[in-house]
Amino acid sequence: MKRILLFSVLAASLLSSCTSDRCAADKDTFLDNYYELLEEARAANLPVSDKKWARYDERFRAYVEECYEVHEAAMSGREKRRFWRKSLSYYTQRYGDGAVQELRKGGGKQPKWKQQLKEWGL
């Protein structure tokens, strides 16, 4: 019984540390890391169909779908607009002419970028 409890506690702390490392402890580090990822992807200048996009896509997804919510409350309106503007640039680079179709997919729930645009009245 003690082993199960100990294992559960260790597993939970390991998982939470992975999430917090990826999302960063503070807003400024999160944004710096995110913009660094976007610059790295831009500099790679990969064709739309290149399988190497997978390494960027997973990190991008985590920043947008998981980490943004962690730091959203601490971000100014200007920081939020810049975040989403840069995110749209990533989509454009990643999917080329298919960017609009990819953004419309949404996977059943309304994408975060659409929610943000509604909040701004756009």
pLDDT by residue (tens digit) across 44-92? 999 888 999 999 999 999 999 999 999 999 999 999 999 999 999 998 8
Contact 103, 96 (CB under 8 A): no
State which residues form the domain around 41.
25-119
User: Is residue 15 assigned to a domain?
Assistant: no
**In this structure, what DSSP letter does residue 120 have?**
T
Number of domains in the chain: 1
User: Is residue 11 assigned to a domain?
Assistant: no
Q: 56 Cβ partners below 8 Å, 6+ apart?
A: 37, 40, 41, 44, 94
User: Is residue 55 assigned to a domain?
Assistant: yes
Contact 58, 67 (CB under 8 A): no
For the chain, percent of residues with pLDDT exceeding 70: 65
User: Is residue 9 assigned to a domain?
Assistant: no
